[in-house]
């Protein structure tokens, strides 16, 4: 009966954005995209702030790669703006900063890019996608980023659900938009807040209208409409020492070309009691304990994931889920079932470092279920982001006029 209750409650409604990204080919690894001011993991940046972008090419032949930036509306549909309306300089330019790996078993070329730079400066706020192109102008892969202006301030608080059915498994986000220096003609139509959990755009909640409107405040105190599954703390491992077992790595074997790191077998955590341990909310950090510069001296290892199955998982499409693959789904992070061991297994080639991950189920409707395997608890520590979009009457683009964050670490009643 308890198992049945979990299955009913933990069916997920997460789905993908309208504008889907292009996943990288097999030889492109370790893509990192972050903003200097908002922590090291999330590409949400204040207008004029610094974005950092990097990736490795395992073919290690110093290719010429280019970047191209496009502007999108609040619903992630490409806007009608020409590049000169949102970029000073060039919206397409070569990536000139690259370096080959040093003293590694796996050769690679490491590319990195900063925005703004002397060739490209973002002029306006909004949603953006950066495409990485090859010499033939073909898109190799793409990533989202968001630029905001601090015109408003956003206060965010996280609460337990007021619905007793979900009080132990969901978290509800409430927020206030303060706009003392800005007149908003019609807040219900012009202001479009978006809520995100742990920087994962698959979790977004949007379309909310302010419940209370004051002279300089818009107040959103929803419960069910802004409720998220608390989920569980992310699983993790640390491969900073490639030749020996480390945190949550059961054993290391030296293969013919690269090392293989075998993780301890994971189990379904939905039926267990919540246990706290610190994580980095699905993110990862590249590091090699013996390196002076981990960007080019960290090596690659085959990381073997295995999940003990039960009857509820049979014939499910299960993936390893985390920021290491931008919370996307492809064959590289899909697990396959092995009847002899009754486990789901896969091996993923990853650069040395500290990684968070979870297990996600993807159904035939492209709905993401993060709770059947991982469980969901109101105590789980999550970081929430609130973005405030402004679709002003007469404007030909949607700006982002505010950004706020809140944590469930000190959950409010």
The Cα–Cα gap between 383 and 377 comes to 14
Does 191 fall in a domain? yes
Long-range contacts made by residues 96-100, C-beta under 8 angstroms, separation at least 24? 98/62, 99/295, 99/296, 100/60, 100/62, 100/296
The reported pLDDT for the residue numbered 12 is: 43
Question: 187 lies in which domain range?
Answer: 153-231+378-407
The reported pLDDT for the residue numbered 4 is: 39
Please tell me what DSSP assigns to residue 374. T
Does 324 fall in a domain? yes
Q: What is the pLDDT along the chain (413 residues), one digit of tens a residue?
A: 334 334 343 344 465 565 678 999 999 999 999 986 555 578 999 999 999 999 999 999 999 999 999 999 999 999 999 999 999 999 899 999 999 999 999 999 999 999 999 999 999 999 999 999 999 999 999 999 999 999 999 999 999 999 999 999 999 999 999 999 899 999 999 999 999 999 999 999 999 999 999 989 999 999 999 999 999 999 999 999 999 888 899 999 998 999 999 999 999 999 899 998 889 999 999 999 989 999 999 999 999 999 998 877 888 999 999 999 999 899 999 999 998 999 999 999 999 999 999 999 998 888 999 999 999 999 999 999 999 999 988 889 999 999 999 999 877 66
| CA 32 to chain CA mean position, Å | 10
198 and 243 fall within a common domain: no
Does 21 fall in a domain? no
Q: What pTM was computed for the model?
A: 0.92
Q: Which of 117, 148, 179 is the last residue of a domain?
A: 148
361 and 241 fall within a common domain: yes
Does 165 fall in a domain? yes
104 and 93 fall within a common domain: yes
| CATH code for position 59 | 2.60.40
The reported pLDDT for the residue numbered 38 is: 52
The reported pLDDT for the residue numbered 255 is: 86
Does 10 fall in a domain? no
- Burial (CB count within 10 angstroms: exposed 0-12, middle 13-18, buried 19+), residue 124: middle
Question: How many domains, in total, are found in the chain?
Answer: 3
402 and 306 fall within a common domain: no
């Amino acid at each position: 009966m308890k198992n049945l209750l979990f299955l009913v409650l933990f069916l997920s409604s997460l789905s993908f954005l309208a504008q889907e990204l292009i996943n990288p080919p097999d030889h492109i690894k370790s893509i990192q995209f972050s903003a200097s001011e908002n922590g090291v993991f999330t590409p949400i940046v204040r207008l004029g702030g610094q974005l950092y972008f990097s990736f490795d090419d395992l073919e290690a032949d110093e290719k010429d790669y280019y970047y191209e930036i496009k502007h999108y509306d609040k619903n992630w549909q490409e806007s009608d703006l020409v590049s000169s309306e949102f970029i000073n300089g060039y919206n397409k330019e070569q990536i000139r900063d690259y370096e080959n790996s040093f003293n590694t078993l796996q050769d690679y070329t490491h590319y990195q890019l900063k925005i703004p730079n002397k060739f490209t400066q973002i002029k306006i706020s909004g949603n953006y996608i950066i495409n990485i192109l090859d010499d033939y102008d073909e898109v190799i892969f793409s990533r989202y980023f968001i630029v905001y202006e601090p015109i408003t301030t956003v206060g965010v608080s996280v609460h337990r659900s007021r619905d007793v059915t979900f009080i132990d498994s969901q978290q509800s986000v409430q927020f206030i938009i303060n706009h003392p220096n800005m007149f908003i003609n019609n807040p219900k139509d012009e202001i479009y807040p978006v809520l995100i959990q742990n920087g994962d755009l698959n979790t977004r909640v949007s379309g909310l209208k302010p419940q209370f409107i004051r002279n300089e405040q818009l107040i959103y105190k929803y419960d069910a409409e802004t409720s998220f599954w608390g989920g569980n703390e992310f699983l993790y491992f640390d491969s900073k020492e490639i030749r020996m077992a480390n945190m949550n790595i059961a054993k290391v074997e030296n293969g013919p070309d690269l090392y293989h790191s075998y993780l301890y077998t994971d189990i379904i955590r939905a039926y267990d009691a919540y246990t706290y341990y610190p994580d980095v909310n699905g993110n990862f950090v590249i590091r090699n304990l013996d390196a002076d510069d981990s960007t080019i001296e960290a090596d690659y290892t085959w990381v073997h994931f295995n999940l003990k199955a039960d009857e509820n998982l049979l014939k499910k499409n299960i993936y390893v889920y985390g920021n290491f693959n931008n919370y996307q789904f492809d064959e590289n992070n899909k697990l396959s079932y092995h009847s002899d061991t009754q486990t789901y297994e896969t091996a993923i080639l990853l650069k040395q470092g500290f990684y968070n991950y979870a297990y996600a189920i993807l159904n035939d409707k492209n709905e993401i279920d993060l709770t059947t395997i991982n469980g969901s608890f109101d105590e789980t520590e999550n970081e929430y982001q609130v973005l405030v979009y402004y679709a002003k009457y007469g404007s030909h683009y949607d700006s982002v006029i505010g950004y706020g964050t809140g944590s469930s670490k000190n959950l409010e009643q």
